[in-house]
Structure 1
Amino acid sequence: MVELKDRELIFVFTGPDGSGRKTIADSVGSTLGISKVLSYATRKPRPGEANGQDYHFISSELYEQFHAGGEFVESVTINNNQYGLRDKDVAQSFENNGCIYLILNPEGAEILKRMYGDHVIRLFIYADRNTVEKRQRDEGLSEEVIAAHLSHYESDMDYQSQCEHAYENYDLAHTIFDISNRLEGYLKRNLVERD
């Protein structure tokens, strides 16, 4: 497990599938110059996903090899697929940047919070069930995948009260703006506006 220094923070974007957490996280990370750490996944890429950009898509055999070697700092199984975050990826990202961001489901977010305490800031992104369902259909996900996601929508929503911040995502630009401003306060870079 990586030992974090005082100013090192992990921003975890979490919430139900279809809430827009990935789009928001990547936009905020790009705006603020925060490094993204990718998880490893044993499932196939979904429409619009790319290996090395959304996840490291690997075989179940390789995942088990990493797991047996104690390489995952966080590992969960969701809908029969495994997802994990490698300790060495977190360590390398902190070498380059004082803060990192991750996109995790609530279970993964909770594991990191227990491990790193106040170094983890959880940002819960959500939308109502009908909006989430429509977004997933618009993405081209299969009815089977959508049903699997919706099967844990309520339990994902229950995690909101445990997170440091929560944002209802109906206006993407507004949500990105609000979160960027909030995280700027954590970064304490004392930026000065210039005309």
Structure 2
Amino acid sequence: MISGNLFIITAASGAGKTSLVRELLAADPQIKLSVSYTTRKPRPGEVDAEHYHFVDEATFLEMLGEGDFLESAEVHGARYGTSQTRVDSVLKQGNDLILEIDWQGAEQVRRLYPQAISIFILPPSIEALEQRLHDRGQDSKEVIAKRLAVARDEMSHVAEFDYVTINDVFEVALDDLRAIIRAQRLKLQAQTERHQALINALI
């Protein structure tokens, strides 16, 4: 049975991860996105069950206690978690799945799914990251300062990842992500599973 690839995509807040993933999903129906659970409040335009499953603290802790999460972490004062059932279901269907999670979550996932492919997206500079956070218009100067401090700590874990791309020019970073996904699909084991009859006939 063909199983899909599990991709972990991590970036500091403001590095452009969400926009890049959105483009990947729009162009490739074989890629699915794991919708995380979170205790933070929805931002303007965010829809429950589409961007996140928004739950209260008590519900999240109950799910955590019951072992529902593949990984969970606390970031910027809010909790985030990935559904184990959802991950297993998508992969068994042969689809590729993207987890948009932080480095802590990535570390937890790699323990259970060592075959997962991890990608870290970096900004071109700390100044560019700060400007992007300002341009979003969602946070105060104090919150942005805290996010930048957290971002430096997050980016210090870049060496733990399989691939790194720098989101300076959006289309270049997007092409980098597409190349990683395509290369993973062309690995021997994946191609053997998909084309066993052809390979047997040829050799």
Which TM-score band applies after superposition, normalised by the shorter structure? Answer: 0.7 to 0.9
Aligned partner of 1:30 in structure 2 is: 26
- Counting aligned pairs with the same residue, the percent is 25
The equivalent position to 2:118 in structure 1, one of 118, 122, 133, is: 122
Residues 2, 92 of structure 2: 8 Å contact kept: no
Aligned to 1:193: none
Alpha-carbon shift at residue 48 of structure 1 (Å)? 4.0
Where do residues 3-14 of structure 1 align in structure 2 (5 Å cutoff)? 7-14=3-10
Q: Which has the larger radius of gyration?
A: 2
The whole-number CA distance in structure 2 between the counterparts of 1:6 and 1:164 is: 23
What is the TM-score when the length of structure 2 is the normalising length?
A: 0.83
Which of 56, 60, 64 in structure 2 is aligned with 1:63? 60
Inter-partner Cα distance in structure 2 for 1:28 and 1:46: 22
| Deviation at residue 156 of structure 1 after TM alignment | 1.0
How big is the shift at 1:84?
0.5
Tell whether the 8 Å contact from 1:47 to 1:140 is kept in structure 2 after alignment: no
In the other structure, the counterpart of 1:40 is: 37
Provide Cα deviations, 1:10-66, integer angstroms capped at 9, x if missing partner: 111102111011111221233233011111110012244332222111111111111
CA contact (8 A) 1:31 1:180 kept: no
3-state SS, counterpart of residue 157 of structure 2: helix
Q: Which runs of 4+ in 1 moved over 6 A?
A: none
TM-score (norm 1): 0.86
Q: Read off the aligned partner of 1:150 and give its amino acid letter.
A: L
Q: Which residue, out of 96, 100, 106, partners 1:99?
A: 96
Does residue 150 of structure 2 align to residue 149 of structure 1? no
- 2-side partners of 1:182 and 1:75: how far apart? 25
Distance 1:136 1:52 in 2: 25
1:123-168 residue CA offsets vs partner (Å, 9 max, x unmatched): 1101121111111221122124323321211211111111111011
**Letter paired with 2:103:** P
Counting matched residue pairs gives 185
Q: Which residue of 2 aligns with 1:85?
A: 82
CA distance in 1, matches of 2:183, 2:3: 12
1:159 aligns with 2:125: no
Q: How much has 1:6 moved relative to structure 2? A: 7.4
Alignment CA distance shift 1:135-1:147 (3 Å)? same
CA distance in 1, matches of 2:103, 2:63: 22
**Matching residue's letter, 1:19:** A
Amino acid at match of 1:97: G
Does the CA-based 8 Å contact 2:35-2:50 persist in structure 1? yes
**CA RMSD, Structure 1 to Structure 2 (Å):** 1.9
